[in-house]
Amino acid sequence: MIITIVGGGSTFTAGIVKSIALRREELEVDEIRLFDLDKERQDKVAVVVDWILHEDLKCDIKLTVTTDVETAYTDASFIFAQMRVGKYAMREQDEKIPLRHGCVGQETCGTGGMAYGMRTIFPMMKVIDDAEKYAKKDYWILNYSNPAAIVSEACRVLRPKARIINICDMPIAIIDVVAAAMEIKDKENIVYDYFGLNHFGWFTSIEYKGEDLMPRLRAYIKEHEILMPAAYLKDKAALGVSSGTEGNRHTKGSWYYVWKGVYEIMENFPEYLPNTYLNYYLQQKEFVEHSNPEHTRANEVMETREKNLFDGVDAYLATGKIDEKVFYAGSHGDWIADLAIALKNDTKARFLVITENRGAIPNMPYDAMVELPAYIGKNGPEVIARDPIPLFQQGLMMQQVNSEKLLVEGCIEGSYEKVLQAFTLNKTVPSMNVAKEILDEMIEANKGYWPELK
C-alpha cells in the first residue's frame, strides 16, 4: 500500500508522516513517497521524514523521494495533496497587495485567497490527471491544498468524476481549542454539528458525553473575552498578541486576533460558534486596521515554522539530535491519516468534508460546494442532510459561493470581467473600483502563474 504526498517539501510533511506511521497497522502502509517540484526543499524535509520512519519509530516503511511524476504516482492508493503553488513568496503578495488597497489580506479569504486559487486550479487538475494515469484505479486524493473552497469548486466543474476529497483542519483545530478551554482531555468524545462553506461556517452544536457544551462555552468566551485556553494566554506578549505556550500553531502570532474575534462575533450572534475565518468577512474593517501591511502571516510563518524546520534539519545533520517540536503538526496530520483509515477500512466514521451540496442544505444551490459532516466509507462520503439554514448565514454563504463560482468560471474562460465580478462580489471588497485596482496589481504579480485574462 503506497501513500504519495504531493508537496513533499511542505512544512507539514514530517508531521503528517508521523501520523501515518503511528497508524501503520490500520493503514497497512508499505511505502511513503514524497513528490515536489522543488528538489532542494523536499530533500531537506526528507531528512526528517527518514529519521521519523527509520530512527524514531523504527518501522519498515519504504521511503521514496522524487520529482518524477511516474515514480511518484505509480500504483499509489492514497495521494495526500498539500502543495502551495507560488510558495510563501506568493503568499506574501496575496496578503500584502489587498492590504495596500485597504482590504483584507489573507491566505485563503478575500482577494488574496482568490489570487491563490487562480494559481492552484490548473496544477491541481494535473495532480488529478497524473493520479488517473498512474495510480491504482480506486485511488483517493485527500486534498489539503488551499484555497480548498476554490480548488474544490474547480474539481467539481473540471473533473467531476475524480476520486478527490477536499478537507480542512480548521474545524478540528477549533475543537482542540474548545477542549483545552473546557479542560477536556478525551477530545474524541466531543461530537459536533457544523454547516458552511470552507473557511466560512458555523458549529451549531457541540456535545461532550451527552452534555450540551454550548452554554458553558458561551459563558467561557464571554468571561475571558476570547476563545483561548487560559494557559495559552499566560505569556501574552506586549502587543496583546499571544505567543502561545502549548505547541498549538493556531494560537500563535497574528492568529490571536481571530480567537479574540470569536468573542466579538458571539457578543452579537451568540447562537452558533463561528469558524475563526468568518472574522475576515464580518470584521473586515477591523482586521485591516490591526494588520501590518509590511509584516503579514506569511512573514510570521517564514520566521518561525519554516525557519525552525530547516534549522532543525541542519542541526540534526550537524549533531545527530532532533527536536520534535520543529515538525510537530498535531491534529493536522491525524485528521488526514484518520480519513484514509475510514476510506480504506470502510469504518463509516464521521468527518467534515467539502462536498457538492446536492440538497443536503435545502436552501443552498444543488451545485454549491459546502462543508458538512459525512460518514466516510470505502465509496467515499455519505453526507448528512440538515434542515434549512437561517437567512443570515444563507445570505452570507450565497454571496461567498457566487464569488467563488465566478472566480472559477473566470479562470477557466480567461475572462477578466468574470474575475472582476468575483472580486467585486466578495464581502471583503468595498467597491468595484477597489476590486479593479487590486485585480490589476495581482495580474502583474502573478505573471507566469495565472491564465491570461482578456
Between 94 and 437, name the residue whose CB sits nearer to ligand G6P.
94
Q: How far apart, in whole angstroms, are the C-alpha atoms of residue 104 and residue 281? A: 9
Between 4 and 357, name the residue whose CB sits nearer to ligand NAD.
4
What's the grid cell of residue 82?
498539500
Active site residue 43: no
Q: How far is the CB of 219 from ligand G6P (least distance, A)?
A: 26
Q: How far apart, in whole angstroms, are the C-alpha atoms of residue 434 and residue 98? A: 9
Interaction residues for Mn ion, span 135-174 (CB under 5 A): 168, 170
400 binds, among ligand G6P, ligand NAD, Mn ion, none (CB under 5 to 8 A by kind): none
Amino acid identity at 415: S
Q: How far is the CB of 169 from Mn ion (least distance, A)?
A: 6
Binding residues for ligand NAD, rule: CB under 6 A, are: 6-7, 9-12, 36-38, 41, 82-85, 87-88, 123, 144-146, 148, 168-170, 332
Q: How far is the CB of 109 from ligand G6P (least distance, A)?
A: 10
Report if residue 301 touches ligand G6P, rule: CB under 6 A: yes
Between 77 and 198, name the residue whose CB sits nearer to Mn ion.
198
Residue among 293, 258, 285, 277 nearest 98 (CA): 293
Between 8 and 435, name the residue whose CB sits nearer to ligand G6P.
8
Interaction residues for ligand G6P, span 216-275 (CB under 6 A): 249
Region binding ligand G6P by CB under 6 A among candidate stretches 164-172, 215-223, 306-314, 404-412: 164-172
Q: How far is the CB of 337 from ligand NAD (least distance, A)?
A: 14
Between 108 and 152, name the residue whose CB sits nearer to ligand G6P.
108
What count of other Cβ atoms lies within 10 Å of the Cβ of residue 316? Answer: 17
Active site residue 212: no
Report if residue 299 touches ligand G6P, rule: CB under 6 A: no
Q: Are strands 273-274 and 200-208 parallel, antiparallel or unpaired?
A: antiparallel
249 binds, among Mn ion, ligand G6P, ligand NAD, none (CB under 5 to 8 A by kind): ligand G6P
Q: Which of 208, 256, 257, 277 is catalytic?
A: 277
Q: Which residue is nearest to ligand NAD (CB)?
A: 9
Sign of dihedral through CA atoms 267, 269, 273, 276? negative
Is 348 within 8 Å of 323 (Cβ atoms)? no
Between 10 and 421, name the residue whose CB sits nearer to ligand NAD.
10
Is 57 within 8 Å of 120 (Cβ atoms)? no
What count of other Cβ atoms lies within 10 Å of the Cβ of residue 44? Answer: 17
Between 65 and 85, name the residue whose CB sits nearer to ligand NAD.
85
Region binding ligand G6P by CB under 6 A among candidate stretches 48-56, 165-173, 356-364, 410-418: 165-173
Is 275 within 8 Å of 172 (Cβ atoms)? no
Q: Which of 169, 176, 334, 338 is catalytic?
A: 169
Region binding ligand G6P by CB under 6 A among candidate stretches 22-30, 162-170, 321-329, 390-398: 162-170
Contact map string, positions 130 to 149, toward ligand G6P, x by CB under 6 A = ----------------x---
114 binds, among ligand NAD, Mn ion, ligand G6P, none (CB under 5 to 8 A by kind): none
Contact map string, positions 70 to 109, toward ligand G6P, x by CB under 6 A = -------------------------------------xx-
Between 162 and 170, name the residue whose CB sits nearer to Mn ion.
170
Q: How far is the CB of 14 from ligand NAD (least distance, A)?
A: 10
The residue ranges that bind Mn ion (CB under 5 A) are: 168, 170
The residue ranges that bind ligand G6P (CB under 6 A) are: 107-108, 146, 168-170, 173, 249, 297, 301
Q: Which residues are catalytic?
A: 169, 277
